Every structure is written in structure tokens, then in C-alpha cells.
Amino acid sequence: MAASAQTRHESGRASPWFTPEHELLRDQVRRFVDEEIKPNGDRWEEEGCVPRDVLRRMGQLGFFGIRYPEEYGGSGMDVLATVVLAEELGRSTYSGAAITALVHTDMASVHVWNAGTKAQRDRWMPGIVSGSVITAVAITEPEAGSDVKSIRTTARREGDSFVLNGTKLFITNGVHADLYCVAAKTDLSGPASRGVTMFLVENGTPGFRVGRALDKHGWRSSDTAELVFEDCRVPAEAVLGGEGRGFYAIMQNFQNERVVLGAMAMGEAQAAIDLTLDWVRTRKAFGATLWDKQAIRQKLAMLAAKVEAGRQLVFATAWRVGQGEDATREVSMVKAYCGELVNEVMYACVQFHGGMGFMRGSAIERMARDARVQAIGGGATEVMLEEVAKRL
């Protein structure tokens, strides 16, 4: 990036990644976090979801259209803009609220934009951007997670319709979404990679129902569901991206999705360090503050260095993705490294908070629970490391 486009990093140094427009977005998201999420997050945790009026507010502020064109109400920004959004929502300390928004912006609605016909885009994109239509992506099943080829939900052709049967599990936004991007097998005899098709299924379609809302260890303000399809009939026009192209669409978006999750994780980690620095500088033990203990401040210093390294890996990888490169190796590194690092950070921060870090109602306790899934969801660490190993 040209030097003239550089803005200031939080440390005061120039950033090679972000423009003034990115920093304006960062400021706007931080204000929203301070004014909307932090004062209400505890209530949303109890309710198990983010209220729809809040999501509409995010749409009105432009957060849901960052990467989409102006013709649909978006601002047409780049991958780094999404990184800004994800990092700042991660810093909110309410990761359930963060993932609710990010699944909509970067894991579900992208399928409509990337693969949708003009008619599908014209119908759905304005509502997606405004927040009046919330999306979910339904891929994971009881026996198929990262192994997308192993999904068992089927869609058989009957005239000008497809009939879906199967069950999806761990679907974020699954309870309250308006539109679902659903992966199903349309060809059971050919290669698995060419047998998956994506479908648009509206909430309320006969034969489709929420089986149950799931009770999670963390991300309590994110609604998560089991979805059931029992002879769910959708028109042929609901096919998204062409029959047999679903596996490739899912793989394509993994690059974007995993960068976003990495950015969110680094936002979470930085917020945990900030909270813990405030705590150890005031908490006293044996006649001095915890900050005066060399072991504690050196541990926090090393964690801060690792988080900065993780952030820079996210930024550089997002830039490569934005250039249209195949960055599967780097994206997999982001997901593995950041998912593990945020848990390392949380473990230490809970430890330094002592008994208070183990109490429900403390931010660091909630954050530690929320962070655990970062090494699981969106591609488990072990799966990501195998992707890296293939490319060494």
C-alpha cells in the first residue's frame, strides 16, 4: 500500500494495511460496541439471542453491507474492512453478539452474493444489507462438520422442484434467520465433490423446521439450532450457484470465513489482555500489585507479542485474499494459530484474575467460555494444520 494511504496504528506508528476509510469504520464500530453491545450484552446472554431491532440498527449503520456494492445499499469496501469489523466486534467481550453479525455478513449472505443469479440478488440483497433479512448457512450435520463431502442431507429433483430431507446441526442464527443457505446432496452416485448443491430456503417453508435451540457452553447470545428437513419442497429457482457446485462454493468462502474468525479471535485476545492489565495494576497481593510480579508482567508481555503477531498474520492474509490469491495455506495458519492463541490468552488471563476470573458475571470468565469454540468451529485446529502440512 502506498505510504500516502497509510494511517496510524494504535501504537502511534503508521499502519501499512489500513486507509482513513478503514479507521473511520473502526471508530464507528467501536462507538456501536460501547453504546449498544456492552450495556445490553448481559441481557442478550440471558435471552439467548441478539434482538432483531439491534441487527436492523447494524444494517442501517452500514455494517452489513461493507463488502457489497452501492446498488444494493452497501459501501463496496475490501476484505480488510471486514477484518476491522470482526476485530472490533471481537473486542466487545460479547462474542455471541459478534458471531451473530459475522455469520450473517461473511459466512451466509456471501453465498447469495457470490453465487446468486441477478433475480436472487435483486430479491434478497437489499434486505440482507439493511438487516431486515438475517441469514444462516446450513452445512454441518451430526456426522459431517469440516468434512463437507460427507453430508447426508439429500435433495431429489421432482419436476420443477427439489425435495430436501435431512438434519443440520450447530447452525448459528438457525433459530431466528429469515433465509438459509442449505447444502444438500443432489448426486449420490458421482464424485462427492460434485454431488453437493446449495439451496435458498426461506423460514416458514413447509417441511422445514427448527428441531431445537441448542444450549451452548459459550456464545450464549448467539442462537444456534438443529434444523430438520422433511420432504421440504423448494422451487428449482432456489438452487444457488448451479447444481453440483455447492462444494466448490463452500470451499471458496472458507478463505474469507477463516480470516474473519481469526480477526475476531485476535480482537477477543486483545480485549482480554487489556482487561487483565487493568486488573493486575490495581490488585494487590503480598504488599504490592500483581503487576509488580515479574513473572506476571513478563507473561502478559509475551502474550501481547503473540497477539500482535497474530494480528499481523491476519492483516497480511486478508490482503492476499483481497488480491485474489489462493491463500489456503496462510488462511489455514490464521485459523489454527489464532484459534489456539486466543485460548492460551484466556487461560492466563483467568489465572491472573484469580478467584474473580472463575465467577459468573465477570467479563473474563464469559470470554474464556466464548473463546473455546475458536479452536473448533469454522475448521478445527487439527484439520487446519493438515491443510498447512499439505502445503509445506
CATH of the domain at 16: 1.10.540.10
- The stretch 265-282 carries a mean pLDDT of 97
Can you give the CATH number for the domain in which 230 is found? 2.40.110.10
Task: Decide which of 190 and 296 is more confident.
Answer: 296
Kindly state whether residues 233 and 263 are assigned to the same domain: no
Among 110, 133, 156, the domain boundary falls at 133
C-alpha triplet 151, 154, 156: angle, nearest 5° = 155
For 30-60, what is each residue's pLDDT tens digit? Answer: 999 999 999 999 999 999 999 999 999 999 9
Give the pLDDT mean for 198-219. 97
Q: How high is the pLDDT of residue 3?
A: 35
Section 300-317 average pLDDT:
98
C-alpha cell belonging to residue 85: 469489523
Answer yes or no: do 347 and 381 share one domain.
Answer: yes
In a shared domain, residues 184 and 231: yes
b vs e for 171-186, b when ≥16 Cβ sit within 10 Å of the residue's Cβ?
A: bbbbbbbbbbbbbbbb
- Which range marks the domain in which residue 231 is found? 136-244
What's residue 10's pLDDT?
A: 56
> What does the pLDDT read at residue 2?
36
Check pLDDT > 90 for residue 189: no
Lookup: cell for 345: 490468552
The answer on pLDDT for 388 being more than 80 is yes
**CATH classification of the domain holding 367:** 1.20.140.10
Say if residue 236 is in the same domain as residue 323: no
Q: Are residues 96 and 153 in the same domain?
A: no
Contact assessment for residue 366 and residue 93, using Cβ atoms and an 8 Å cutoff = yes
Instruction: State what percent of residues in the chain have pLDDT above 70.
Output: 96
- Which candidate in 45, 257, 268, 330 is catalytic? 257
**What global pTM score does this model have?**
0.93
Contacts of range 65-69, beta carbons closer than 8 Å, 24 or more positions apart: 65/129, 65/130, 66/25, 66/105, 67/105, 67/106, 67/110, 67/113, 68/113, 68/125, 68/128, 68/129
The 10 Å Cβ neighbour count of residue 142 is: 12
pLDDT in tens, 67-114: 999 999 999 999 999 999 999 999 999 999 999 999 999 999 999 999
Do 12 and 94 lie in a common domain?
A: yes
- Mean per-residue pLDDT, 299-320: 98
> Do residue 373 and residue 302 come from a single domain?
yes
Domain boundary among 226, 244, 262: 244
Confidence of residue 147 (pLDDT cuts 50, 70, 90): confident
Same domain as 172, residue 224 = yes
The reply to whether 182 and 306 lie within a common domain is: no
- 143 catalytic? Reply is no
Residues 85 and 48 in one domain: yes
Strands (E), 248-307: 284-285, 288-289
Stronger pLDDT, 258 or 254, i.e. the higher one: 258
How high is the pLDDT of residue 101? Answer: 98
For residue 141, what is the DSSP state?
B
One domain for residues 124 and 142: no
Q: Is the pLDDT reported for residue 4 higher than 70?
A: no
Tell me which of 244, 264, 298 is where a domain ends: 244
Name residue, grid cell 469440516: 146
Position 6 confidence tier, pLDDT thresholds 50, 70, 90: very low
Mean pLDDT of the chain: 94
Q: State whether 352 and 234 are in the same domain.
A: no
CA distances in angstroms from 379 to 24, 99, 282, listed in the order given: 31, 15, 39
pLDDT band at 190 (very low <50, low <70, confident <90, very high): confident
Q: How many domains does the structure of the chain reveal?
A: 3
